[in-house]
Copies of this chain bind each other. A is one copy, B any other.
């Protein structure tokens, strides 16, 4: 495996940053790995697990002599972290991020980099679990998953190549698209489903508070599956909502319209119209196939847990 960096800085040694470092190290693709973070405890875990060689809480010390930087922090913090690294970062060092929103993040980072924005290329490695922190990192988290790069008009060809090589070295399938396209797609297939899951849980809790207080006790397999994501970090999702606001609003409105069509058909007792809406969804959904299980589920499965789905 070709070495993709002699000195790699991972800013934010969480699930993504930590798993990336583990994958690169396992393949001998990096020299020294420096972990930058605010939490001394998380950095300690990262060092203890052999994820990083050196822990830094000071951005300038971390940036010195680095040749590649991955900013794997919450979307609202990416630009400020890049800013904090700039004073000490060598001019040849390439920078990328791991944010799940791109247009606003890329714009903010490019404003900070000014004339040197050619050294930056936005990335979104599409992976994760509901767990977080260095403690949750695993070397195969990114393996075989997609990573979307959103190079801007100023990103140099050399930067693109470096960032491609970075994620490919971690086993990812890398592709490129404009940041705006990325944000429209992920508003639909990721941000909207999260918002809808949060709303669904709240709707049930609202009714329980008004009266019966019993519905949640009957939340079985299906409900749990599709609201599992509502247990995700509210802060992270608040930031994603704000960072991808326009596209998310558009996605919510499209969803509300689709819901309203079914509601109207049910309200009218129009069996044919209900069936038409549901059948259209079924055909579309079946094309997607079944998702493989999350790691937590695999663990339980091995322990022989069983389940069936409530209707």
Give the B-binding residues of A (Cβ under 8 A).
100, 126-130, 140-143, 145-146, 181, 184-186, 188-190, 192-207, 212, 214-216, 218-235, 237-238, 240-242, 245, 248-249, 251-263, 266-267, 269, 271, 274-275, 277-282, 284-298, 300-302, 305-311
Contacts and interface: CB of A to CB of B under 8 A. Distances in A.
B206 A126 contact: no
Nearest to A287: B216
Contact of A212 (B185, B245, B269, B285): B185
Contacts of A127: 308-311
Contacts of A267: 245, 249
A223 to B, nearest CB: 5
A263 B201 CA distance: 15
Given A221-B292, A233-B282, A256-B259, 13 more contacts: A127-B309, A129-B308, A189-B204, A224-B290, A225-B229, A226-B228, A227-B281, A242-B266, A249-B263, A252-B259, A293-B305, A295-B306, A298-B301
Contacts of A269: 242, 245
Given A181-B214, A185-B218, A200 B196 contact: yes
Contacts of A261: 199, 202
Contacts of A311: 100, 126-128, 186, 190, 240
Contacts of A296: 290
B222 A190 contact: yes
Copies in the complex: 2
Contacts of A190: 218, 220, 222-223, 310-311
A88 to B, nearest CB: 30
A255 B307 contact: no
A226 B225 contact: yes
B204 A188 contact: yes
Contacts of A266: 195, 241-242, 245, 248-249, 252
A220 to B, nearest CB: 6
Contact of A203 (B186, B258, B271): B258
Nearest to A144: B306
Contacts of A237: 278
B198 A310 contact: no
Contact of A292 (B188, B198, B300): B300
B280 A293 contact: no
A23 to B, nearest CB: 12
A95 to B, nearest CB: 21
B225 A189 contact: no
Given A282-B234, A292-B300, A255 B192 contact: no
A76 to B, nearest CB: 9
22 contacts: A100-B311, A129-B308, A129-B309, A130-B309, A188-B203, A189-B204, A196-B259, A199-B261, A202-B280, A216-B284, A220-B291, A225-B229, A240-B311, A242-B271, A252-B263, A256-B263, A291-B307, A292-B297, A293-B300, A293-B305, A297-B301, A301-B302
